[in-house]
Each structure stands twice: as structure tokens, then as C-alpha cells.
Structure 1
């Protein structure tokens, strides 16, 4: 198809960058030269270059042209699931409680609400082969008239808990991961008798206007979880 020419331009230049024919800082042929090489319009050439720019392969300097971007070696794509990781899968979830509470300072900050605004707290335990592997807390901004049905949230993922509040396609999620030693409550819940660190995952769900509508903290036993990332 005629419209696929810009994809070919992007693919050809991308291949040259990946193979090393074009190196970091090298300038690309001008738009005029690419128009001539591919027998196409300037608009089509620009569409191909825009793809490469959006993917992080090139950048432009007004009046000078396009150049090969230095790759970001610190950027990784990590697959994270509450239920599945490289060494263990959650095979049972136990709902501990669903309560309406007031937020502490951390929750009020993360949800961008006042400390007088009520929130819903959902407490769960994740099990694998009969052993508790994670203690899960989810906090939703309380909305009058929006019911929380316990048998629907017991096995729901965090985004699924929001399905009656917002379209799942409109949500975006922030994630923070860190290690922490457990307190006595979590030790008891997870039956941790050895000095094992927790792997803590914090999740924040934002709506289409980038407003926080939910915050979650999952405390995994450090010996029950392993994640994998791939550089881009």
C-alpha cells in the first residue's frame, strides 16, 4: 500500500541504527534526500521519522536535521503481576476485611485527598500451595452510592476493583518497588519465622485526568517472588 512507505522508511533507518551502520550522534539524510530515495512526499518522510522519534531512536534539531539518539540503558520493561512471578503463583486469595477508614498522612498524600475524606480499605492474603506469600492492602477513594461487593473483589486485580468506577482503558498505573524488614503484624500474617526481608510493591491508579483513585501496597515474602526486566 502507498501509505506503508513511511513504515519502510522507519524500518530501514531503524535497521541501520541497530546494525551500527548509523551510530549515536550521526546525522540522518535530509528530508529532501529521503524524498528522492523513496520517491515519496515530504509528509510521508516526516511520518516515518516521527515513528523513529517517538520510539526513541532519533531526535531533531530545528534547522539542522535529525540525529541518532543515544540509547537509554537504564530503561527496562518489567512484567509485574500480583498473582504470578518467576518462582511462585498465587493459587488462593483470602479476603480478610473491607472497612471504611480515614487516611493517614501517606495515604492522603498519595490519593491527593484531605485526612477527613473517607477511604475504603481492602485487606487480603495471597497463598501459594497452602502457604501465605503476600499481604495485600488496597485503598479506594470512598464514593457514596458505589457499592463494594466482597465476593467480587476477593479475587480481583487492582484495576478490576475499579471497573464500576472508571473504564479499565482509561486507567494508568504508577508502581514503586523496594525492600523492607517486616513488623510483627506482617510476620504473624505471613508466618515469617526467619529474618527474611519483604519485597514491597506500591501501586497508584490514576484516572484519565491523572487524578489518583486508588492506592495499593502488597508485601511479598522476599523468598517467594522474583521479577524479570528487559532493557529497551
Structure 2
């Protein structure tokens, strides 16, 4: 079956960009020229150009046309699941505490709330094959009338914890990842006896209005986690 014309436009322009015939910054033929070349409507041409734009091959400048986009070599896509990574899975969790607290200045600033606004703090340990692999702490905005059921949050991922507060389809997430030397208290919690660094993953969850609704910080033993990303 013959491909639609807009797919032909996408494939032809994509091929010219990939081969170097069209270089970053080069202007594409006008919509009128493409209509003539492919003997098709302006709507069909725009559909093809829209696909190329969404794929990151081109961008438009109002009144000037379409240009070849410079590839972003520094952008990677990777999946993050606090309960599973390339080398280890969490097979048991231990709920250490669930407390309602008043945030300090740093936490209040991160959650964009006043220091008088209550926050639910959840502390857990993650285990794999009997050994503690991560210390996990979550901060959720306290919501009067919404019960905290310990059995439900014990094994829940961060998004699952807030599923009764906002639709997961409206959820936006931000990650910050960094290494840290463990303090003595953390060494005892994670049974660290030699020089092993921590891989710290901070997750911030936002609602549909882009307001923070939760902050999670997970301290992984460096020898128990491995993340993988790919460029697109």
C-alpha cells in the first residue's frame, strides 16, 4: 500500500537532513514550493512539516519559514523507577515512620509553601535480598480529611502515594541526581562499612497547575543502583 503524501514529505526531508544535504540553520522550501513539488494541498504539507517539527528536525519562524534544527547531543531519555533499576530490585520495604511536621525554610521553599503549612513526612528503607539498598524519605502536602494508610504507602511508589490527590495523567515530575558521601547515621542505616558513595535522586511532583505537591529524596547505595539513558 502506498504511503500518504505527507509521509513521503517527512521521509524525503528527514533523509536530506540525515545525509547532510540540509544542514542546521538551512531554510526549507516554502509551503507553496512543497505543494507544487508533491502536487498536494497546503494542509498535507503542513501535516508533514508538523511531524518533522515534533521530531526535532525542524523549527518554524513566523513570517520566514521552516529551518533545520541543530541536533541536541546532550539530551538523554531514561526511565527511573525507585523500586527497580538495571542491577537491583526492591523486594522488601520497611516503613520507619509517618509524621506530620512543620517544614524548615529549605523544605518550605522547595514546596513553595509557608513554614506554618503542615507536611506529611514518610521514611522508609528499601531492601534487596535481605540487605538495605536505599533510604527513602517523602514529603507530601498535608491535606485535612485525607487519611494516611500505612499499609498502602509502605510499598507504594511516589506517584502512587499522591494518586488520591491528583490525576496521574496531570502529574509532572522533575528529577535531580547527584553523588554524596554518606554520614555516619546513613552508614548505619544502609550497612555501609567501606568507602561507598551514595547516589541521591530527588523527585519533585507537580500538579496540572505546575504547583509542587510532593518532594521525595532517595539515598541509594552506589553499589546497588545503575541508571541507563539513551539519546534521541
TM-score by length of 2: 0.94
| Cα deviation digits, residues 24-57 of structure 1 (max 9, x gap) | 2232222112112222211221222122223221
User: Is 112-121 or 45-54 further displaced after alignment?
Assistant: 45-54
How many equivalent residue pairs?
232
Local SS of the residue matching 1:86: coil
1:196 matches 2:218: no
1:143 corresponds to = 143
Q: How far 1:11 moved relative to its partner?
A: 3.4
2:31 corresponds to = 31
Local SS of the residue matching 1:151: helix
Q: How far 1:125 moved relative to its partner?
A: 0.6
2:126 corresponds to = 126
* Runs of 5+ unmatched residues, structure 1: none
1:10 corresponds to = 10
RMSD: 1.9
2:93 corresponds to = 93
1:175 corresponds to = 175
Alignment partners' CA distance in 1, 2:77 and 2:134? 23
Change in CA separation of 1:35 and 1:166 when aligned onto 2, cut-off 3 Å:
same
Local SS of the residue matching 1:48: helix
TM-score by length of 1: 0.94
Q: How far 1:146 moved relative to its partner?
A: 0.6
* Runs of 5+ unmatched residues, structure 2: none
Local SS of the residue matching 1:14: helix
1:110 corresponds to = 110
1:166 matches 2:166: yes
Alignment partners' CA distance in 2, 1:223 and 1:72? 31
Local SS of the residue matching 1:160: helix
Local SS of the residue matching 2:100: strand
Q: How far 1:4 moved relative to its partner?
A: 4.7
| Cα deviation digits, residues 110-151 of structure 1 (max 9, x gap) | 110011111001111111111100000011000000111111
Alignment partners' CA distance in 2, 1:19 and 1:130? 53
Alignment partners' CA distance in 2, 1:83 and 1:60? 41
Local SS of the residue matching 2:90: coil
1:218 matches 2:224: no
User: Is 30-39 or 123-132 further displaced after alignment?
Assistant: 30-39
Q: How far 1:8 moved relative to its partner?
A: 3.7
